[in-house]
Chains A and B, each alone.
Chain A
Amino acid sequence: MSSAPPATTPEPVTPKVRRRSDRSGLYATVGAVVIVAILVGVGYGTHWYGLTSSSSSGGCPTGTTLQGAGAAFPAALVSQWVSGYTGDTGNLVNYAASGAGEGITDLTTKQVDFALTDEGLNGTESSALATAVGTVLTLPVTGGAVTLIYNIPGYPGPLNLTAAQIVGIYSGSTGYTAWDSTEFTVNNPGLVSSTALVYAVHRGDQAGMSYVFTNYLSLDNTTWATNIGTSILPAWPIFATGPGESGNSALIREVAGQAGAIGYTDLYDAQSHKLPTAHVENPHDQFIAPAVSSTTSAVNDIYAADPSSFPASDGNWASVTFVNAPGTTDYPLATIVYAMVPENPGAGHTASAIDAEVLVQWLHWTLTTGESFNSTAFPYVNPPAALVTEALAALSNMTYNKGTIPTCS
């Protein structure tokens, strides 16, 4: 044993390999985390709108956002409604006008609080919807005309079209491929000098307007009814002309940009894009122009003809149609837009009692204040007064998790 004191083991030194920028990796990481946190934070909390959070302090709730989806047909009116409703109540409504089909799907998969549609649900859709969210209320909120827009250079109009002619156009039948053919000049003599070919533009996505349009064609033409029928996405006859546009905006753009094109859209879009609309033949063999007056009378005449045939608000509206109204000056392609909402919103997307309250408030608003928004600037029509009253009554049957929803005006 050595008598020397134990050799102290020198303290192991971790070698510090110092490069000039040794800490910069750390700074970079920290910086990156900070930036990412800022990005998320900016998104999460900022509200430049001035509203902070949902609150229900004594009066009506404010600051809630409802989610809606559905038809593009009433999109312009809904935009005005939302603006007015937000001004009146401080609640927001995010409406995605991506098509009636998507609205129904979203309601079924619980993505939205309400859907707007201008089509009747078929059996599969309604049973899927019922399974997912229970009883569904169908509330008529607005309506209007489905118009046929066209672009025939050199022809100022008006373009008179019968159902048979429209079927011919959209089937690509012989004789309907050029605008100067005898099939068209028989009631449009001015077309003789046209050189344009016929391009039948249609919607390639699930569109309520396709439903109304094909409903009209099916009711007036047995060949169409047998072969293609009524649908939000019909199996359009395959022919070389006529793109299947996805979306209302795309359809309008195509018609406006293609000489000889014909398509269908709502009256507001036709007028705001300055596109001429066809005069469509009604059951009295009159060619009627789409207008607020002819559409209002159509909607009211249909109701007046058989009021008892209309289902209750929680019933099945699949067979309801406002096409081919009985009056002599009625426009034959009228439609009503329905708000579809679960009778018990707690089963659907509506996540809280406050949301349910705001949903009822919004629906009430559209059925009362919203009905006064129609004007020459926004050419939509109101549903028949009796149906609106019935819809307002149905609102009071809505419950949230089996409890009544407090009404708030």
Chain B
Amino acid sequence: MGEVGAGPDPRAAEEVSRPRQRAHLFRLLGGVFRGGATTAAVGVLLLAAALVVLLATNAFASIERFGLGFLTSDQWDLGRNQFGAGPAIAGTLLTSALALVFAIPVGLGVALFSSEIAPPRLRTPLAYFVDLGTAIPSIVYGFWALQVLKPIMETSVQPALAHIPGTGFLFSGPPLGLGVLTAGTILGIMIVPTIAAFSREALRSVSRQQREAALSLGATRWEATRMAVLGPAAPGIGGAIVLGLGRAIGETIAVALVIGGGYLVPTSLFSQGSTIPSTLVNGFTDSFGLERSALYELCIILLAISLAINLGARLMLREAGSSVRRGTESTQRRRRARPAGRIAATSTGSGLGVPRWWSVLVAQQRARRLRRKIVYGFVLVLVVGAVIVAAYPLASLVRTAVENGGTAVVHPSFYTSEPPTSCGVNQTVCPLGGIGPAIEGTFVLLGAASLIGLPVGLLTGIFLSEYGRNRLGRTIELTVDVLVGVPSILLGVFVFAVFLQFDPLDARTALSGGAALGMLMIPIVAKATTTSLRTVPAAVRDSALALGFPRHRVTARVVLGSCRSALVTANLVALMRAGGEAAAVIVTAGTSQYWAEGLRTPTAALATFIYYALTTNASPNYTSDAWGAALVLLLIMAVISLLARLALRTDSVSASE
């Protein structure tokens, strides 16, 4: 302290209190930061709860009126006010099952090819191709299905199937081209990339040593995969399949366009039918009163199915994560059907602690060389075939879009004109118009959605990874996981209902459309942020803390900074998903033929433009504009996918640092 008799030295007091002041400031900022993140995360939880509550409340009138019979009744009679969910549920389950029948072998084949068999140089383009498959919007798939798949089904596939003896009940009825089979097929084509991507991750997460050990003993690639990889990867593959199923259940637009729309329980695979999402998107905006309440009840049923499937998928994937860690043990524990060969057992017996499959392998190697080669060749053909089957629809889709939309896309006026007015019946040259308002509308919606989705998603992700190691955090993480898989039509219906309740004049505007898309983006961004933040090694965080960084600055500058590109990728992916979304926008933002006049009017958008061309607007010139719009959408998705993939390469922190 200072001289005797004098007061405390003011300079010393100041020098002592400055760090204390700073510490106070940091604590305040840290508190604010943490508070913000917690608010966002809890907000997401409340939003999910509100989703369930609002749908249930609106469905109450129908639940009260119809009771449990709603689930089995097959009526949808507006005149007599009788409604039932039977055909919708049956159609949903049937089309999803068909989709899995198609997508599981093809998706697994693609995953196997790209993780095991493909030459290394081919793996990245293949991965990009699979990404693109996931990115193509549902409306574009639906458009292609109507244009290309339906005629193929109608003229070739369905008659051929009908000729197979003994399958009368399955393939009876006129070959319309529309129906449950076509819907199941397009669904299958759409979920192949999802299954392929997640299965590939599951396969790649298995430790290489097992595989290499098997290969080094002379196993063919297939045998090495089968023995050492598929076992530990099985839960992950299971999770991938269930995720694909979840996506198929919630798929709205593509199915609505090709399923034929009759409200009946399908009696054969050629029947027309309905699914829950297709019934919703076709009937929601028309309905009111008891019918709308019945549609809300359908929403609840869809939500319940979707929740069950998503939870199942998450549990399987969690199990997959732990089983990979136990990988060695599980392959050891699995018993092979064949007894260990006497020849090899002596030299490399289990007495040395070597896995049993190794001894089996050595025995097989000497005995059945040719047969193994044949089997490998056969599997190779199957897997390459799967890749071709997966690639063909995508290639056809791109080609159709380019063929039909190519002429429109090259005119600059296409991007600056409004949609065409109607054309007289005998007029030979109709005004072509353009998609200017649709493009602008998409930007408006994405802008509004980003303002909600990006910050909330980011903060939620930060909360989950930094402050969420408690029960609240685990609950919120589960909620986010589940929200990712909720069908977008439900989010649209929810947002519309909220606006109708509190702000009816804005219910069919860009504001509600943006809110719906924002809700769509939140879980995607949150999940990706959480995942990226968790990959930052603890060492980076610890060293920053050790150097005296306050907690919030560690998170904001150091951790976020080191996975910048992963975050950028996540945002791009979320924007991409929202940009191609049609179902949620149809029930909220409506449509407009004019340039956007702010957020409080209905708005055009690329995806809804195409949808309205296919359903309501019958002018022939509108359809060619729609193909142009589809091509523009495809190009945007392709560019964003490429950017996202390139951005990931420049991530500044890798695991090895």
Q: Give residues in A with beta carbon < 8 Å to B.
A: 1, 6, 8-9, 11-12, 14-15, 17, 21-22, 24-25, 28, 32, 36, 39-49, 65, 67, 72, 75-77, 79-80, 82-83, 92, 94, 96-99, 101-102, 105-106, 108-111, 124-125, 128, 197, 199, 204-206, 229, 231-236, 238, 240-250, 252-254, 257-258, 265, 268-269, 271-273, 349, 351, 375-379
Q: Which residues of B contact A253 (CB under 8 A)?
A: 146, 614
Enumerate chain A residues within 8 angstroms of B270, measured Cβ to Cβ: 240
B contact residues vs A (CB 8 Å cutoff)? 1-2, 4, 9, 11-12, 15-16, 18-19, 22, 75-80, 146, 151, 154, 173-174, 176-178, 256-257, 260-264, 267-268, 270-272, 282-283, 285-289, 416, 418, 421-427, 436, 440-441, 443-444, 446-448, 450-451, 454, 500, 504-505, 507-508, 510, 544, 547-549, 556-558, 560-561, 564, 568, 571, 590-599, 601-602, 612-620, 622, 652
* With A44-B599, A379-B425: A98-B616 Cβ-Cβ less than 8 Å: yes
Question: Chain B contacts of A250 at CB under 8 A?
Answer: 257, 614-615
- By the criterion CB–CB under 8 Å, are A244 and B283 in contact? no
CA distance A15 to B615 in the complex (A): 63
**Given A42-B440, A96-B602, A240-B271, A205 contacting B79 (CB threshold 8 A):** no
Task: Please measure, in the bound complex, the distance between the C-alpha atom of A109 and the C-alpha atom of B620, giving whole angstroms.
Answer: 32
Alpha-carbon separation in the docked complex, A235 to B422 (Å): 32
Knowing A17-B544, A204-B262, A243-B272, say if A108 contacts B505 (CB, 8 Å).
no
User: What are 8 A-to-B residue pairs whose CB atoms are below 8 Å?
Assistant: A25-B560, A42-B440, A46-B595, A101-B287, A233-B286, A245-B261, A247-B616, A272-B620
In the complex, the answer to whether A110 meets B505 with C-beta atoms within 8 Å is: yes
Residues of chain A with a CB closer than 8 A to B423's CB: 272
Q: Which residue of A lies closest to B652 (CB)?
A: A21
* Nearest A residue to B266, CB-CB: A240
Contact A92 B594 (CB under 8 A): yes
Nearest residue (CB) in A for B611 is A247
Q: Is the CB of A243 within 8 A of B78?
A: no
Contact B174 A15 (CB under 8 A): no
Contacts of B425 on A, CB cut-off 8 Å?
268, 271-272, 376-379
Considering the chains assembled together, what is the distance between the CA atoms of A33 and B12 in angstroms? 43
Q: Which residues of B contact A36 (CB under 8 A)?
A: 447, 450-451, 454
**Closest 8 CB pairs between A and B?**
A377-B424, A43-B444, A247-B615, A39-B447, A40-B447, A76-B422, A204-B261, A244-B261
Q: In the complex the two chains form, is A46's CB within 8 Å of B504's CB? A: no
Chain A residues within an 8 Å CB radius of B601: 65, 67, 94
Expressed in whole angstroms, the minimum distance between the Cβ of B224 and any Cβ of chain A is: 42
Of A47, A111, A248, which one neighbours B618 at CB under 8 angstroms? A248
Contact partners of A40 in chain B: CB under 8 A: 444, 447-448, 451
Minimum distance in angstroms from B1 CB to a CB of chain A: 7
Contact between A236 and B286 (Cβ–Cβ < 8 Å)? no
- Check A235–B424 contact: CB distance below 8 A: no
Measured between C-beta atoms, what is the minimum distance from B643 to chain A in Å? 13
* B contact residues around A45 at 8 Å (CB): 598
* B548 with A15: CB separation less than 8 A: yes
How many angstroms between the C-alpha atoms of A232 and B2 in the bound complex?
94
**Residue of chain A at shortest CB distance from B256:** A246
CA A240 – CA B505 in complex, angstroms? 42
